[in-house]
Structure 1
Amino acid sequence: MALCIIVLVGTPLAFYLARAPGRLVLLAEAVVLMPMLMPTLALGILIAVTYGPAAPLGRAFAAIGITLANTPAAFLLATIYAALPTYVIAARGAIAQVPQEYEGLARTLGDGLWAARLRVTLPMARKGLAAALSLAWVRALGEFGIILIVAYYPAGMPVQLWTDVQDLGLQAVFPLVAVFLLATLPVPLWLSLRARAA
C-alpha cells in the first residue's frame, strides 16, 4: 500500500521537480530532501508529535476513525515518510534525463501534457524509475527509527529483528534475517530485470 501511494504522489512531484521553472522548485526540493537528511529517530519523534493522539492532526484523523500511533495506519504513515523522498529524488533524476523536446513533439501530434508524459517520458525513463522504485521498496521495508517511535506495534521486520536480538541473541534471529532477505530482494531484482528487458 505504501508503495502504491508513493508512486501516485511521488511521480507527479518528481515531474514537478524535474520540469518546473522558477525558485519555488528549490523550496519544494528542500522540503522533499528534509526527511532524508534528518536522523530517522528525530523524524519519528516529529511525526509522533504531529500525528499523535494529542496533536490537532492526530485528533482530526481520530475523528474519522484513524489512529496514527501503534496501528497499521501509523505503520503505513511511517513507511511513506521513510520511502517517499528516496523515490522522488531518484525518479526526478530519471525524468530529468529524458529530453523535454520529446514531450513537446508528442504534444504537437495531439497529446496533452500528461498524455505525453505517460506515453513518452515514463517509458523512456523506465530504467531510472525502476531503480527509484527498488530503492523505495528497500527503504520502506528496512525502516527502523521512524517505525520504532510511531508504530512499535505492529512491529515491522527491522523492529522485530532488533527486539529478538535483545531478547534471544544473534544466533536466534538468523531464520528471521533469511525471511527478511527473501521478502526484500526479489522485488528490486525483478524490477531491474524488467526494466532492462523492456
Structure 2
Amino acid sequence: MSFERRTRVWRGIRVPELLVPALLGGLILVYFLLPFVTFLYRTGTADVLSGLATPEAQLAIRNSLLTAPVTTAIATVLGVPLAYVLARKSFPGKRLVEALVIMPLIVPPVVGGAMILTAVGRFTPLGSAAAAAGIPLTDSLAGVILAQLFVAAPFVIITARAGFGAIDVRVEQASRSLGYGPVSTFWNVSLPLARGAILAGIILTFARAIGEFGATMMVAYNPRTMPTRIWVEFIAGGIDAIVPLALALFAITLGVLALVQRFGRVPTVIDR
C-alpha cells in the first residue's frame, strides 16, 4: 500500500474527539488509583479490629471526632456570614480579605502551625493569658481546634460564597420590597437558596479538619488525633502499624465523598 493510500485510510478512520485528552487524563487517574489499590491489598495482613481497640487508637479517634465537629461549627458560624458579604458587597480592601481567605490553603500546614504558635503560643501574651485562665491554647484540644480551623475554614467560606453568588440578586430585592429586613432576607431567602453549596462546604471543612496533620503537629502534638497517632505508629512500626487508623480515616473519607456527590459539584476557587 502506497504512502498516499495509507494516509487516506488513516484519515478515514473516525478518531473520537477527546481520545488524546482522555488518554492523558487516564494516566493521572491510574496514578490516583494505584496507591488505593496497593494499600487496600496490604490490609489483608493487618488485624484491623484489634488495632482500633487499643486505648491509644480509641483516644485518637475520640479526640478527632470531638474536635473536627467543633471546628466545623465555628467555621460555619463565622465563615458563612463573611461569604455572604464577599458575594454581595464591594468595599475597600475586599481583595485583601479574599487573599486572607485563600492564604491558609496556600501556606504549607506546618508553616501555618508555626504562624499560629507566634500568635497563641505559650510565651505569647494571648497564650500566657489563656493558660493562666486554665485554657491553654497549645498542646490541648483547644490547640487542635485552632490548628484545624486555620486550615479548614476557607473551604466553607469559598463554597458558600459561590453559592450566594449564584443567587439572582433580584430575588433578594423582591424580599426587601415586601418589607423584610436584611437579616430576614438572608435567613429566609439567601440561606435556603445557597444551602447546597453551604452544606458541601461544611462537609469539606469537616473532612479537612479531621485529616489535618501538619498544623496540628506544630500547635498540639498532644493530645493525639488520628493523623498524629498515625504518624507515631508509622515511626514505631512502619506501614503495617498504621493500617487500622488509616482505614478508619479512609472510611470517613468515603463517607465525605458520598455526601459531596449528593450535594453536587463543589467550587474550589472564589468566583469573581
Q: TM-score, normalised on structure 1?
A: 0.91
Q: CA deviation at 1:192?
A: 5.1
- For 1:54 and 1:136, the matched residues in 2 are separated by 30
Local SS of the residue matching 1:47: helix
Task: Give the C-alpha shift of residue 54 in structure 1.
Answer: 0.6
Shift of residue 91, structure 1, vs aligned partner: 1.3
Do structure 1's residue 68 and structure 2's residue 142 form an aligned pair? no
Give the partner amino acid of 2:138.
A
User: Residues 64 and 163 (structure 1 numbering): CA distance in 2 closer, same or farther, change over 3 Å?
Assistant: same
**Corresponding residue to 2:237 among 158, 162, 168:** 168
Q: Does 1:180 align with 2:180?
A: no
Q: In structure 1, how many angstroms separate the alpha carbons of the residues matched to 2:134 and 2:171?
A: 46
In the TM superposition, 1:148-167 aligns within 5 A as 148-167=217-236
CA distance in 2 between counterparts of 1:188 and 1:65 reads: 38
Matched residue, 2:83: 14
Q: Could you tell me which runs of 5 or more consecutive residues in structure 2 were left unpaired when the two chains were aligned.
A: 1-69, 265-272
Greater mean deviation of Cα atoms: 144-153 or 51-60: 51-60
TM-score (structure 2 length as normaliser): 0.67
Partner Cα separation in structure 2 for residue 5 and residue 44 of structure 1: 18
Please list, as runs of the form range in 1=range in 2, the aligned pairs for 1:40-119 lying within 5 A after superposition: 40-119=109-188
Name 1:138's counterpart in structure 2. Answer: 207
Q: Which amino acid is 2:100 matched to?
A: V
Amino acid at match of 1:120: V
Deviation at 1:72, TM superposition (A): 0.7
Alignment check: 8 A CA contact 1:131 1:188 kept: no
Runs of 4 or more, structure 1, over 4 Å off, are none
- The match for 1:23 among 82, 88, 92 is 92
SS at match of 2:252: helix
Is the contact made by 1:127 and 1:192 (CA closer than 8 Å) also made in structure 2? Answer: no
Whole-angstrom CA distance in 1 between matches of 2:202 and 2:257 = 8
Q: Which runs of 5+ in 1 are unaligned?
A: none
Q: Percent identity?
A: 34
Question: Which residue does the alignment assign to 1:39?
Answer: 108
AA of the residue aligned to 1:140 = A
Q: How many corresponding residue pairs? A: 195
| One-letter amino acid of the structure 2 residue matched with residue 111 of structure 1 | Y
State the one-letter code of the partner of 2:168. Answer: P
Range with greater deviation from structure 2 (177-186 or 39-48): 177-186
Aligned to 1:123: 192
